[in-house]
Amino acid sequence: MIKTDEVEELDRLRHSTAHILAQAVLKFFPETKITIGPAIKDGFYYDFDRADPFTDEDLVRVEKEMQSIIDEAQIFEQKPVSKSEAESYWKARENPYKLEILRDLNEGEITFVCNGPFTDLCRGGHIHSTSEVKAFKLLSVAGAYWRGSEKNKMLQRIYGTAFFSKPEMETYLHRLEEAKKRDHRKLGKELDLFSFHDESPAMVFFHAKGFFLYNTLIDYMRSKLREGDYEEVQAPAILSDDLWKKSGHYDNFRENMYFTKAENREYAVKPMNCPGHVLLYKNGQHSYRDLPVRLAEFGRVYRYERSGVTHGLLRVRSFTQDDAHHFCREEQLKDEIQALIIFTKEVYETFGFKSYSIAVSTRPEKAMGSLEIWEKATNSLTQSLDDLGMPFSINEGEGAFYGPKIEFVIYDDLGRPWQCGTIQVDFSMPERFGLEYVDQDGMRKRPVMIHRAIYGSIERFLGILIEHYGGAFPLWLSPIQVRILTIADKHVEGAKEIARTLKAAGIRIEADYRPEKIGYKIRETETQKVPYAAIIGDKELETGLISIRGRGRRDLGSRPLADIIQDLKREVDSRS
């Protein structure tokens, strides 16, 4: 009996459905070479090597055959095989992918999984019978390099999902459809926010409205920096590669960095802001009275990402971090961490993210510093969370190479998780760069360094916001707050006077004076997701009462302009 509350069992179900998919594909396309088919978050996929592309019609046929396999109640059986036996089996089927996987396996750890006439090289993890698959759906086809390497052949990846019940799947598919409508790339184009161009791949071109949103995120965070006694700084984008070697980034992050050379000297374009802030701290003398020193920068960084993994605003090659580094005494560490946790929580709630989870990521395999330092740094994070009464999980081995971190995962309006902010404790970089402060006993001591980002990346956070709100931003964030719509040409001059009054009051307006039907203008305003529309006709100019409509086709009646302005300002100030 499958227990729906166990993630492991859901993975078994989905992994088994991937096998059913492969079996169905081979029935119709026996020349296809099968590769791998794991369970993934929200579903499964299987990669195929096939000369002709899979069509929508193919997926319909395959899906129907999968249902037949499920109805047959085929039993999944796992059996150990010798390496030579496995090699003979896949050589007979001329499958280089399975043979490559076998080369990495040792004798005694090789198993086949069989259901009906289908056999796969698999370590196991399956349901008992195909009949246990109660709800499944094939979703899409995409290209995928074998083993994720661009040097290898491009395969065809069929994505699907499976659930324990049809209602669960229907809920998921509904959410998936809603997510497609909210896709930030689609809305970015429709709302004229940003674009991408081949002349600068995976680097965003912000249009005026998108750049307004970008700057609004910075302006809001800048106001919070003033409250938190930060010093806003700026470091250069290009620094000597010696600096990156000293910081450890060259050894641990080199494959994601851009390099350049001038006057026989090697430089790197910064992928992170921390070494620049270390140099700024080191530039002066510091007393224990000065600490904590909090340096913040909206720093543009550059990281090489393969073209296959870039994704709209969510994964780009150039982005701006809302980065800050705290240099503090060890005894100040806990207070600084706790203040940052509260700060981060407040920011997310301001943007409408009421639900979030927290994890502490611990020492990775590739790390700088002693085990003792890592334990001390990790304890400072877990104790801070414990003292605040905030629950958290542990991500074993997922910390940065220089220190453990708190990771915040926010949940959007569709319940989807997004990993955003981090708070990282670093004892190693102050040691590597010889950072000091003079303590009250006159002795020179090392500060502790805290790395923190709340948005993470402004571009990525903006992409999340677009999808969270579906492009329908709250009034304080909306690039255009009110669109003025005239009914006829004779109303244009009066509408212009109203527009001037709104602009003078600090309201962001856009006017549509075109000789189009008012119904068309209203529909277009809805499509553009403008919060309010002010309709100007004979009655409005005669009475001075403005007909106002709210987003979502809400008729708010006719009101004096002064009252409308007052209410708009109140809504903006509340950030509701």
Determine which one of 157, 184, 325, 549 is catalytic: 325
Query: What is d(CA 247, CA 9) in angstroms, rounded to the nearest whole number?
Result: 43
Q: Does 303 participate in catalysis according to the annotation?
A: yes
Query: What is d(CA 370, CA 171) in angstroms, rounded to the nearest whole number?
Result: 48
Which residues are registered as beta bridge partners of 452? 324, 423
Minimum mean pLDDT range among 40-44, 71-75, 214-218, 499-503: 40-44
For the chain, what percentages of helix, strand and coil (3-state, to nearest 5) are there?
Answer: 40, 25, 35
Flag whether pLDDT at 98 surpasses 50: yes
Sheet-wide strand order for 509-512: 509-512, 482-486, 532-536, 545-550, 554-560
Residue 361: φ, ψ to 5°: -100, 130
Residue 367 — pLDDT band, cuts 50, 70, 90? confident
Question: Whose CA is closest to 519, among 493, 497, 537?
Answer: 537
CA dihedral 375, 378, 380, 381 (to 10 degrees): -170
Determine which one of 98, 137, 182, 405 is catalytic: 405
Query: What is d(CA 181, CA 461) in angstroms, rounded to the nearest whole number?
Result: 18
Query: Cβ contacts of residue 515 below 8 Å, gap of 6+?
Result: 488, 489
Q: Does 242 participate in catalysis according to the annotation?
A: no
Residue 100 — pLDDT band, cuts 50, 70, 90? very high
DSSP conformational letter for 75: B
Cβ atoms within 10 Å of 459's Cβ, excluding its own: 25
Token pair of 120 as six digits: 């796969």
What does the radius of gyration of the chain's CA atoms come to, in whole angstroms?
29
Query: Cβ contacts of residue 356 below 8 Å, gap of 6+?
Result: 345, 348, 408, 409, 410, 411
Token pair of 397 as six digits: 């081995």
Residue 368 — pLDDT band, cuts 50, 70, 90? confident
Cβ atoms within 10 Å of 7's Cβ, excluding its own: 10
Q: Does 274 participate in catalysis according to the annotation?
A: yes
Flag whether pLDDT at 32 surpasses 60: yes
Question: Whose CA is closest to 384, among 428, 446, 355, 342?
Answer: 342
331, with CB counted inside 10 A (0-12, 13-18, 19+), is exposed
Beta carbons of 155 and 146 less than 8 angstroms apart: yes
Scan for tokens 């999944």, then name that residue. 76
pLDDT of residue 502: 97
**β-pairing verdict for 393-395 and 205-206:** unpaired
Determine which one of 274, 326, 420, 424 is catalytic: 274
Please state the three-class secondary structure of 489-531 as a single string: HHHHHHHHHHHHHHHHCCCCEEEECCCCCHHHHHHHHHHCCCC
Beta carbons of 248 and 233 less than 8 angstroms apart: no
Which residue type occupies 33? K
Determine which one of 58, 120, 241, 323 is catalytic: 323
Query: Cβ contacts of residue 519 below 8 Å, gap of 6+?
Result: none
Question: Whose CA is closest to 322, among 338, 301, 302?
Answer: 301
Q: Does 122 participate in catalysis according to the annotation?
A: no
Query: Span 19-28, mean pLDDT?
Result: 98
Determine which one of 321, 424, 481, 528 is catalytic: 321
Query: Span 294-306, mean pLDDT?
Result: 94
Token pair of 194 as six digits: 């940003």
Determine which one of 15, 98, 209, 303 is catalytic: 303
Query: What is d(CA 479, CA 456) in angstroms, rounded to the nearest whole number?
Result: 22
Flag whether pLDDT at 6 surpasses 70: no
Cis peptide before 430 (omega within 30 of 0): no
Determine which one of 33, 451, 460, 483 is catalytic: 451
Residue 366 — pLDDT band, cuts 50, 70, 90? confident
Residue 487: φ, ψ to 5°: -80, -35
* Report field, pTM of the whole predicted structure over 0.85: yes
Question: Whose CA is closest to 3, among 147, 164, 206, 128?
Answer: 164
Q: Does 420 participate in catalysis according to the annotation?
A: no
Q: What is the pLDDT of residues 110-138, one digit of tens each?
A: 999 999 999 999 998 999 999 999 999 99
